[in-house]
Amino acid sequence: MSKRSIRRTSRAFTLIELLVVISVIALLVAILLPSLASARRAAHRTISLSNLKQLAVGIAAYSQENKDGLVNPFDARMQQLYGANWCDVVFPRDTNATTNPYVWRFNDPGFSSEMFSFHWASLIMTYIAPGQNRARIQIAPNDQAVIARFDAHVNATSDIDGYLMDTSYLYSPTMWLASERYAGSAVPPLGPDNAASPRWWRRNRTDHVTEPQAKVMLWERFDFGQQTRGSANGRVKQFPQWNNSEATPRFARVDGSVDSVAISQLNALTNDSDAAVRNIYTPASGLWRMPSSVLNRYSGIGRDGIENGENGTTAYPAYFWSTKNGIRGRDIPR
């Protein structure tokens, strides 16, 4: 019986078949990428809410150990000991030192102490435990500008516990300033040369908050869930600032709960037909116009896409920043 050899032949893909496969893959990528990007943004929003919750818990722990006082670094005793201004934050280098402390000076004319709003988290992180100032819960996952500055500080600064870094989550100035400052429609300026400034400083406590479930204490500086915002030149690839009419920022209330709110909803309340409603929700200072010259003194924050009416941007209402009646006011409907 003769053996027959069996020859197997392999067939290559034709050019048409390869093009079809490539087209199918491209189609699948086009379909899946938006879903993946959406899922990633949702995950980042969840992380941001978790960060806000943990920071609010840190503030609550601080309050419980400080006679229910809210975070306020402007300590008159420390300032007197070291010869500092009322708007200076003083960090002793050690418990026995009486000279050469760290002094962080917030002495911007008209805005003294208010830029602490961008730097407060370092203080509470250091309070929680030594070395905790390296923790990333003070940064939103998409806030690349703050991440870059944070990494630079952590890598270059050995004594990180004495360093005030900026954060993605702002702390309302109403937490350490008197509610009377926000009673009218014009907020009095702050400044080291303004004799009235120290009287607006206040050691506020949690029981001073009239409606803790409606008072925003912390919030994202931008809506990091959106990739673009409107401008005079059309859509630009920048995050909407927290008070932009397009934004839906995440926040933490004084009662420790976290949530988000559409700024368009707050805009509707400030334009309500009922004058009493308008009075509650319209910020005492009107628009948020922190000058870029002030912002840029602190790590170049003014170059992060801030919307303050300068550099071709629009100024929006100072929601959460200058709440009518300050700490006794209401930021969101409940």
Tens digit of pLDDT for each residue in 9-40? 556 667 777 778 888 888 787 777 666 666 66
Helices (runs of H) and strands (runs of E) counted in the chain: 8, 8
Q: In which band, very low, low, confident or very high, does the pLDDT at 96 lie, cut at 50, 70 and 90?
A: low
Q: What per-residue confidence (pLDDT) applies to 31?
A: 76
Task: Work out the number of other CB atoms within 10 angstroms of the CB of residue 155.
Answer: 9
Q: What per-residue confidence (pLDDT) applies to 197?
A: 81
Q: What per-residue confidence (pLDDT) applies to 24?
A: 83
Tens digit of pLDDT for each residue in 147-192? 999 999 888 877 788 789 999 999 999 999 999 999 988 899 898 7
Per-residue burial over 237-261, b if 16 or more Cβ lie within 10 Å, else e, is ebbbbbbbebbbbbbbbbeeebebb
Q: In which band, very low, low, confident or very high, does the pLDDT at 268 lie, cut at 50, 70 and 90?
A: very high
Q: What is the mean pLDDT of residues 136-145?
A: 95
Q: Classify residue 77 as left (phi > 0), alpha (psi -120 to 50) or beta.
A: alpha
Percent of the chain scoring above 90 in pLDDT: 60
Q: What is the mean pLDDT of residues 201-212?
A: 94
56, pLDDT greater than 80: yes
Residue whose token pair is 């008159």: 76
Q: What per-residue confidence (pLDDT) applies to 332?
A: 96
Q: What's the rounded Cα separation, in Å, for the pair 282 and 286?
A: 7
Q: What per-residue confidence (pLDDT) applies to 151?
A: 93
Percent of the chain scoring above 70 in pLDDT: 90
Q: What per-residue confidence (pLDDT) applies to 258?
A: 96
Q: What per-residue confidence (pLDDT) applies to 6?
A: 52
Backbone φ and ψ for 253, nearest 5 degrees, come out as -85, 170
Q: In which band, very low, low, confident or very high, does the pLDDT at 283 lie, cut at 50, 70 and 90?
A: very high
Coil, strand or helix at 262: coil
Q: Which residues pair with 258 in a beta bridge?
A: 252
193, pLDDT greater than 70: no
210 half-sphere exposure, CB direction, 13 A CA radius: 12
According to the 3-state scheme, what is the secondary structure of 154-194? Answer: HHHCCCHHHCCCCCCEEECHHHCECHHHHCCCCCCCECCCC
Strands 229-231 and 169-171: unpaired
Tens digit of pLDDT for each residue in 42-52? 777 889 999 99
Q: Which residues contact 149 (CB under 8 A, 6 or more apart)?
A: 165, 166, 299
Residue 322 · residue 289 · CB < 8 Å: no
Q: What is the mean pLDDT of residues 309-327?
A: 96
Mean per-residue pLDDT over the chain, rounded? 88
89, pLDDT greater than 80: yes
Residue 55 · residue 140 · CB < 8 Å: no
Q: What is the mean pLDDT of residues 226-254?
A: 95
Q: What's the rounded Cα separation, in Å, for the pair 201 and 194?
A: 12
Q: Picking from 40-54, 70-84, 95-109, 230-244, which range would have the lowest pLDDT averaged per residue?
A: 95-109
Tens digit of pLDDT for each residue in 319-334? 999 999 999 999 999 7
Quote the pTM value.
0.86
Fill in the amino acid letter for 105. Answer: R
7, pLDDT greater than 60: no
Q: What per-residue confidence (pLDDT) applies to 13?
A: 64
Q: What per-residue confidence (pLDDT) applies to 5?
A: 52
Say how many Å lie between the first and final Cα of the chain, rounded.
94
Report how far Cα 38 is from the mean position of its chain's Cα atoms. Answer: 22
Q: What per-residue confidence (pLDDT) applies to 218?
A: 98
